Structure 1
Amino acid sequence: MIIILIGYMGSGKSTIGQKLSEILKFECIDLDDYIQKMEQLTISQIFERRGEIYFRKIEHTYLKELLGRNNIILSLGGGTPCYGSNMDAILNTEVAHSIYLKSSIPNLVNRLRSEKSQRPLISHLQTDEELTEFIGKHLFERSFYYSQSHQTLLTDGKTIEAITEEIVASLV
């Protein structure tokens, strides 16, 4: 089985992935980290040196490679399901179970407010109003893809433990 965690930045994909890895004894792979390791460049460097088209092409290649594995938890970048045929590849992988970790806009704003400097996509936003508008626009654009996941899990007001327990229970 491959468990694929989908959601907007700040939705908890990496944290939940690590916790699920401990419980299920599956390897946890963050797609962005995997790309950086394979390319020996940061995501920002890939964008700067080779451009977004190159990044999206290798992102798809590495996603397909990882979909050929078994017993992994795969955390995707927030935009990964929205480009090319990535979501189709996920949905057409028999052993894959995709889970959309759905957080409300206010919840995402609260989580991302203090992380803006580490997240290039939102580092330029000055106020909570700008951050709220940016996230809202992005979620609107991406919800079509996110909602195709096999499972949607609302995360607001839930602990990491509660979310992981809910996921594990849904897999049985």
Structure 2
Amino acid sequence: MIIVLIGYMGSGKSTIGKELATVLNYDFLDLDDYISNKENASIPEIFKKKGEIYFRKKETEYLSEVISTLENVVLALGGGTPCYGNNMELLKVISNLKSFYLKLSIPLLAKRLFLERSKRPLISHINSETELLEFIGKHLFERSPYYSQSEFTINTDHKTKQEILEALLAHLI
């Protein structure tokens, strides 16, 4: 089975994904890391040198490659991955794939991301939590229709890692 975690940056896809993979004895794969390895460049470098259109095409290509060749893997997608190309459609046609939207509220995302914004090129220029709240709100408004196409939605507000894991596992048993 392939388990795909979808959600906004900072929603816990990698953190929860690694934990879930350990519990299930699956491999964990972050799609952005996979792309970086294949392209021999970081995501910001790819954006800077080859542009977003190139990146989005490669992202779809590598997503297709991963979901059609790997088994027993927990896959964390980049926050924008579901919103481009036919990426959500690709996920829906794989029979042994379950997709989960890790949904965290805008205020909690802003609180979590504000402290680590220097590591996130998309929001590194934002200097106030109010501005970040506005940015995330607008972004989520655009992305929610894609995220909502996930097979399951797990609301992660004020939940511990263990509670989130239990919610995910309840849908897998």
Where in structure 1 are there 5+ consecutive unaligned residues?
A: none
Instruction: Give the letter aligned to residue 18 of structure 1.
Output: K
1:156 aligns with 157
1:144 aligns with 145
The two structures have a TM-score, normalised by structure 1, of 0.99
**1:10-25 aligned within 5 A:** 10-25=10-25
**1:4-153 aligned within 5 A:** 4-68=4-68, 69-153=70-154
Where in structure 2 are there 5+ consecutive unaligned residues?
A: none
Instruction: Give the letter aligned to residue 171 of structure 1.
Output: L
CA distance in 2, matches of 1:30, 1:123: 21
The two structures have a TM-score, normalised by structure 2, of 0.98
Shift in Å, 1:93:
1.1
Alpha carbon RMSD of aligned pairs, Å?
A: 0.6
CA distance in 2, matches of 1:74, 1:93: 14
- Structure 1 outlier segments of 4+, above 4 Å: none
Shift in Å, 1:171:
0.6
- The total of aligned residue pairs comes to 172
CA distance in 1, matches of 2:147, 2:132: 20
Write the deviation string for residues 62-95 of structure 1: whole angstroms up to 9, x where unpaired.
Answer: 0001111111000000000000000000111111
Shift in Å, 1:161:
1.1
Write the deviation string for residues 23-77 of structure 1: whole angstroms up to 9, x where unpaired.
Answer: 0011000000010011110001101111111100110010001111111000000
Shift in Å, 1:166:
1.3
CA distance in 2, matches of 1:169, 1:75: 19
CA distance in 2, matches of 1:79, 1:27: 22
Q: Secondary structure at the match of 1:67?
A: helix
CA distance in 1, matches of 2:143, 2:89: 15
